[in-house]
Amino acid sequence: MIVRGTITVPGDKSITHRALLFAALSRGSCLISGALTSLDARSTAAVLRRLGVGVGALRRGARVRVVAPEALSAPDGPLDCGNSGTTARLGLGVLAGHPFRSTLTGDRSLRRRPMRRVTEPLVLMGAGVEPSERDGLPVTITGGRLRPLRWELPVSSAQLKGALLLAGVVGRVPVRVREPAGRSRDHTERLLRWFGYGVTESDDGWIGLEPDGEVVPFSMAVPGDISSAAFLVAAGTLADEGELRLPGVGVNPTRTGFLDVLRRMGGQVDLENPRIAQGEPVADLVVRPAPLQATQVSGPEIPGLIDEVPVLAVLASRAQGTTVFHEVGELRVKESDRLRLLAENLRAVGVEADAADSTLWVTGDDRPPRGRIVTEGDHRIAMAFEVLGRVRGAAVAVDDLGCAEVSFPGFPAALRAVTGAGR
């Protein structure tokens, strides 16, 4: 495989969700360029429209105009979050401070994902919640006047943290939350500071919000998504020769754990033209092929690379030695049981791999991977193994590459563009 060229990756998914939600709270007209157009982003846009917000069509290359009313209005039916856990959890935080009743639901995968970890602290703040019979969706929430909150999160999670901080914003009450191990992505905190809110962070993991800012109408550009870029970075790393350039990618330090681990394995990725946009670090990534060595990925590193574990596991399958991922149990409650699927699919293509409790082991192999991949509709599993199928001599069949539209619209074409049409 030869990699070559320059390609722009889609807008950052996490920032797109948050930009749309903050725009909905702005009581005015906002312009967002570079927004992700994936199914997850469209779920957030659709939910906001049901709440009375004017959200333009999400089209690649076009600016999205968001016109926010003076206040969100009660929906006339359930709010369908599709497959997007970010839409559901951040949406619950926003709705907690609005005095009407809403029911959030989603597809079968999302309905299985745990929601009590966010609804429990929202109830303590004063929201009324009618949970599903299981710990998942649908959830009915009735918002109102909120109280200050001090809460220790059960896991380090940007979705949980962001939901509670957004509840503090809409309820205009102080919030203090503590992450137990490692920093999760901090896009919410950066946007809050951009709007003048007092956000503090302590060495022992506590994050504080003072409701002293104001969300006003704004214009912003969303950088490229490093989680999407990771699949093309992996393709460039596994190539036999060439060079790949990915311009304008967000390199927020709470999101670059993937690059840290890859470099530790011997990967060659340079950051060029660094700059700051709306409080977010941005740079151009330049990737070259490199032989890889196994490594240990520790628990405190996981929050900063949780979405990149599938592609790191695929890279580990081509490294010399056994790579161990510690404390990755959170992967069992993503769009699928990713931990189980990773181990099963790696074995299906001839790689020695195992998952037990919250640990994943992958032993590298230089034989061409061959086999059928079962994705269970998980976009990151699909894209990771499609990249693996590009190595020399591979014969990897991914059962559902269409699910990549959840986060990376046009992924197959992008991968073909940088690696060539053939395998």
Question: Of 182, 364, 328, 354, which is closest to residue 257 (Cα–Cα)?
Answer: 182
pLDDT above 80 for 244: yes
Task: Provide CB contacts within 8 A for 196, sequence distance 6+.
Answer: 212, 213, 214
SS3 per-residue string spanning 41-97: HHHHHHHHHHCCCEECCCCCCCCEEEECCCCCCCCCCCEECCCCHHHHHHHHHHHCC
What is the number of other CB atoms lying within 10 angstroms of the CB of residue 77? Answer: 9
Do you know the residue count of the chain? 423
pLDDT above 70 for 192: yes
Classified as helix, coil or strand, 340 is helix
Active-site amino acid positions: 307
The pLDDT tens digits for 316-327 are: 999 999 999 999
The pLDDT tens digits for 399-419 are: 999 999 988 999 999 999 999
The pLDDT tens digits for 123-168 are: 999 999 998 878 999 999 999 999 999 999 998 899 999 999 999 9
Could you tell me what percent of the chain has a pLDDT over 90?
89
Burial 182-204 (b: 16+ CB within 10 A, else e): bbbbbbbbbbbebeebebeeeee
pLDDT above 80 for 257: yes
The pLDDT tens digits for 351-398 are: 999 999 999 999 999 999 999 999 999 999 999 999 999 999 999 999
One-letter amino acid of 140: T
Q: What is the pLDDT of residue 325?
A: 97
DSSP state letters, 236-287: HHHSSEE-EEEEEEE--TTTTHHHHHHHHTT-EEEEEEEEEETTEEEEEEEE
Question: What span, in angstroms and rounded, lies between the C-alpha atoms of 403 and 379?
Answer: 5
Q: What is the pLDDT of residue 203?
A: 85
Both tokens of 264, joined, read 């530790």
Both tokens of 224, joined, read 């490229």
Q: What is the pLDDT of residue 422?
A: 43
Say if residues 17 and 166 touch (Cβ distance below 8 Å).
no
Backbone angles phi, psi at 240, to 5 degrees: -80, -35
Mean residue pLDDT across the chain: 95
What is the number of other CB atoms lying within 10 angstroms of the CB of residue 156? Answer: 23
Task: Provide CB contacts within 8 A for 416, sequence distance 6+.
Answer: none
> For 284-359, where are the alpha helices, taking DSSP H only?
309-316, 338-348
Question: Of 367, 398, 395, which is closest to residue 381 (Cα–Cα)?
Answer: 398
DSSP state letters, 192-229: HHHTT-EEEE-TTSEEEEES-------EEEPPBPHHHH
Q: What is the pLDDT of residue 183?
A: 82
The CA-based angle 128-130-135, given to 5 degrees, is 125
DSSP 22: H
Q: What is the pLDDT of residue 406?
A: 87
Answer with the residue of higher pLDDT: 285 or 278: 285
Say if residues 406 and 333 touch (Cβ distance below 8 Å).
no
Q: What is the pLDDT of residue 61?
A: 84
The pLDDT tens digits for 17-53 are: 999 999 999 999 999 999 999 999 999 999 999 999 9
The pLDDT tens digits for 161-188 are: 999 999 999 999 999 999 987 788 999 9
Both tokens of 328, joined, read 């990755």
Query: 413 — alpha (psi -120 to 50), left (phi > 0) or beta?
Result: alpha
- Which residue reads 């659709």 in tokens? 46
Say if residues 356 and 343 touch (Cβ distance below 8 Å).
no
Question: What's the mean pLDDT in 57-75?
Answer: 95
pLDDT above 60 for 423: no
One-letter amino acid of 234: A
